[in-house]
Amino acid sequence: MHSLLTRLSCSIISRIRFITSVVATQTERAMCKELKTKVLHLSPGSQTLMNGPSARLEETLQDGADFLNSTVAALKSGEVVAVPTDTIYGLACLAQNSDAIKRVYDIKGRNGQKPLAICVGEIQDIYKYCKLSVKEEMLENLLPGPVTLVLERAEALNTDLNPFTPLVGVRIPDHAFMRRLCQMCGEPLALTSANISSHVSSVAVHEFQDLWPRLAVVVDGGPIGDHSRLGSTVVDLSVRGKYRIIRPGCAFSSTVEVLEHKYGLSEDTGQQ
């Protein structure tokens, strides 16, 4: 009798879980269909590639072509999209599109005096939008990777992007999808965390589902990294021979190791 009740109980629980899962999926699809939000779920086979390091870029392209094309089309139309990176999920738009930048601030409820970083596909792209006082070899030691370099901005960068500062943060995520996305767009992406401003960072798409209705595309690359939510290490390299850590992030130790021990930079403490 006890065994029968146990089996019945397990059967009922399984049925409830199945129904709940189906209802949740149908609700998600209905919501996105009504609001025209395109949610792109990478297949289990391609998730490993898409979430993997950018060294496997060519291997990824075939599986991710449809996702890339859809995302590029949305960006070129001035929309905001959600994308996976090598650290956390981000909101992205074309950095040269002033209306799209305003939309990002509106979606996040972000303070207009807080800057957005830019994301590019290759180190050579940095020279188009920034003025550098560091060796290219140093860039190659830090990028691609979970590091944001704060540099002096160049004239080519949209003046409506962070107009209150002469500096800009630059990222090249070690993430094949993001690098190829930037390459296909042919211009930098403005990039910020996919969350309401001041809320915790997201390492899975369901964590910022309340933002989906305001996004054109959500690229679901599965759970990201070690779930540390620390984001990239942000370091200011705008002063020659100096560095200043703005945010320790997830690559603090390795970044300082490169800057101090390999290239002899000293920490800028702000003291004379």
Q: Which of 205, 182, 35, 202 is nearest to 122 (CA)?
A: 182
Is residue 161 a part of any domain in this protein? yes
Closest C-alpha among 180, 156, 201 to residue 55: 180
Give pLDDT, residue 43: 61
Bridge partners (DSSP) listed for residue 235: 149, 245
Q: How confident is the model at residue 258 (pLDDT cuts 50, 70, 90)?
A: very high
For residue 272, with 0-12 CB atoms within 10 Å meaning exposed, 13-18 middle and 19 or more buried, which class applies? exposed
Give buried/exposed letters for 27-66 (b at 16+ CB in 10 A, else e): eeeeebeeeebbbbebeeebbebbbbebeebeebeebbee
For residues 145 and 234, what is the distance between their CA atoms, to the nearest angstrom?
A: 11
Q: Does pLDDT of 8 surpass 60?
A: no
Q: What's the chain's average pLDDT?
A: 85
pLDDT-based confidence at residue 177 (cuts at 50, 70, 90): very high
Question: Per-residue pLDDT tens for 122-149?
Answer: 999 999 999 998 999 999 999 999 999 9
The answer as to whether 202 is a domain residue is: yes
Query: Is the model's pTM score more than 0.85?
Result: no
Q: How confident is the model at residue 9 (pLDDT cuts 50, 70, 90)?
A: low
Flag whether 264 is in a domain.
no
Cβ-contact 116, 98 below 8 angstroms: no
Asked if the structure places residue 255 within a domain, the reply is: no
For 231-257, the pLDDT digits (tens) are 999 999 999 999 999 999 999 999 999
Quick check: is 148 in a domain?
A: yes
Higher pLDDT residue, 153 or 37?
153
Read off the DSSP letter of residue 74.
H
Region 210-239: mean pLDDT is: 92
Distances in Å between the Cα of 84 and the Cα atoms of 87, 94, 181, 250, 258 are 8, 16, 11, 16, 26
Task: With a cut of 50, say whether residue 2 has pLDDT above it.
Answer: no
With respect to residue 26, please indicate whether it lies within any of the assigned structural domains. no
Query: Residue 24's pLDDT is what?
Result: 43
CATH number at residue 212: 3.90.870.10
Lowest mean per-residue pLDDT among 15-19, 77-81, 104-108, 166-170: 15-19
Question: Looking at residue 13, what is its pLDDT?
Answer: 46
Which pair of tokens denotes residue 80?
């905001």
Domain with 107 in it: 34-233
In a domain, 4, yes or no: no
Q: How confident is the model at residue 23 (pLDDT cuts 50, 70, 90)?
A: very low
Residue 212 within any structural domain of the chain: yes
Q: How many domains does the chain have?
A: 1
Q: Which helix (H) or strand (E) holds 108?
A: helix 98-108
